[in-house]
Amino acid sequence: MGEARQGGRPLVFEVGAPGLRVGVLSERLDVPVVEPAEAFGPAARAEPPMLPHATEGQLARHYARLAAVNFGVDTGFYPLGSCTMKHNPRVSEDAARLPGFAAVHPYQPASTVQGALGLMHALQGVLAEVSGLPGVTLQPSAGAHGELTALLVFRAAHGQRGDATSRRCVLVPDTAHGTNPASVAMAGWEVRQVPTDGRGNIDLGELRSALGPHVAAVMLTNPNTLGLFEERILEVTASAHRAGAFVYCDGANLNAILGKARPGDMGFDALHVNLHKTFATPHGGGGPGSGPVCVSAELAPYLPAPVVAEVEGGGYGLVEPERTIGRVRSFLGNFGVAVRAYAYALALGSEGLEEVAEQAVLSANYLKERLKVAYDLPYDRTCMHEFVLSGRRQRRRAGIRALDIAKRLLDFGFHPPTVYFPLVVEEALMIEPTETEDPDTLDAFAEAMLRIAREAEEEPEVLRSAPHATPVRRLDEVRAARRPDLRWRRVRARGGG
């Protein structure tokens, strides 16, 4: 951030002064002091690194101040549509920190980590059960990585069928997550877009017209990014299969159907599971991601190697699938995330997992009904875990954009929803309450949104200049995205010293 202080707070480099002791309880060195020039020769750096010089107390206060202005699911309602921001139960954190899990080393012989392998095998079983797809790999590091992994599996299977070269494109709906076409391109295929019909489903007629011997796969999110369940999903998957294409389910919204419906039963051939969205592990910057992939029995032989399996004689081992596409990640994936996800599944049980979906859908429909009187609702159907409003009315009457509404929400202590996505909705506001939000919180959010709608009519300037109560006001987001200033420079922070 250079010398631009955030909200008037000093950067860590501006706390303290050279020569201050960082720790008050640091111990004396019990190893010989090494002269870098002698140890590294010409590779030794000429100048010492510019590290902050602050006392332990100064550092503690510095990071406590930063934590106080940080916003997350532990500090407030986070209705970020398309990204299920879930409360992370502390019991899962406790499980992940058990020494037997936290201290395990990836190079340990399988015979010494039977407990860890057993947990992974059990988690594979849970994911196979909820997805209806028996083959599971835990290797992918995130949802998008899972997409790419599944597409590579599709490619290998097409190769076995002998039509890999003739199938050159993948169909995706115009409501798809942005990672879908990106994954298709990375897998070496062309992307072809299919429009959405008037009820928010993928247009089945357009899809059938686009299918043919040149199509390798169809990628679909169900429930989709409009928060709607694909009403003719069985016809969609059957049409794709008749054309010889595989069907991929973007599992980002699995939270809405957990324990209620299984993608495998809908005809999907593969699915990725965002453990952080569905099984309550840390999300985004809160921790490493994990995007296990579940596939049909036909595709299981192509999964990345190795997978955890029961071995002859008892216990668990690492097995290489017969026609594996090879390894897609080091070791076996983000093991700590797997522990958290399994603990979450065990704590809830099958009935609890089903209740997750029920509560998520109930909360979303409650908010939808409260807010549709003040905002346009382009697809007025029973929604799943999320719904998409339009700020079209506010824009036409007062020139208020979805971004203005989102910024004003910050003043009421709420994280704003996703805006301008999906692209098929003008001035889109995608709202997703999680199943763990209480009625009072949902009502407070609804009241804030309704007040903002009134302000758009009566005093729109309040919205255009929002936020007013945050540590920093409205930023130049284009400049922040294109010219991020993330590196502290000595010359700027210390007057050219």
Q: What pLDDT digit, counting tens, does each position of 320-372 carry? A: 999 999 999 999 999 999 999 999 999 999 999 999 999 999 999 999 999 99
Shortest CA distance to 387 belongs to which of 417, 358, 357, 414?
Answer: 417
How confident is the model over 241-258, as pLDDT tens digits?
999 999 999 999 999 999
Using pLDDT thresholds of 50, 70 and 90, give the confidence band for residue 284. low
Residue 458: other Cβ atoms inside 10 A: 9
pTM (2 decimals)?
A: 0.90
Res 23 pLDDT > 80: no
Res 283 pLDDT > 90: no
Shortest CA distance to 383 belongs to which of 366, 398, 397?
Answer: 366
Res 6 pLDDT > 80: no
Percent of the chain with pLDDT over 70: 95
Q: Contact, 385 vs 257, CB < 8 A?
A: no
Tokens 């990204």 locate to 83
- What is the mean pLDDT of the segment spanning 284-293? 80
- What is the mean pLDDT of the segment spanning 375-390? 97
CB burial string 120-130: b at 16+ within 10 A, e below: bbbbbebbbbb
- What is the mean pLDDT of the segment spanning 223-246? 98
Q: How far is CA 223 from CA 128, 164, 220, 384, 385, in A?
A: 19, 29, 9, 7, 8
| C-alpha span between 479 and 475 (Å, rounded) | 9
Q: Contact, 136 vs 158, CB < 8 A?
A: no
Res 314 pLDDT > 60: yes
Tell which wins on pLDDT, 134 or 57. Answer: 134
Tell which wins on pLDDT, 46 or 27. Answer: 46
Using pLDDT thresholds of 50, 70 and 90, give the confidence band for residue 163. very high
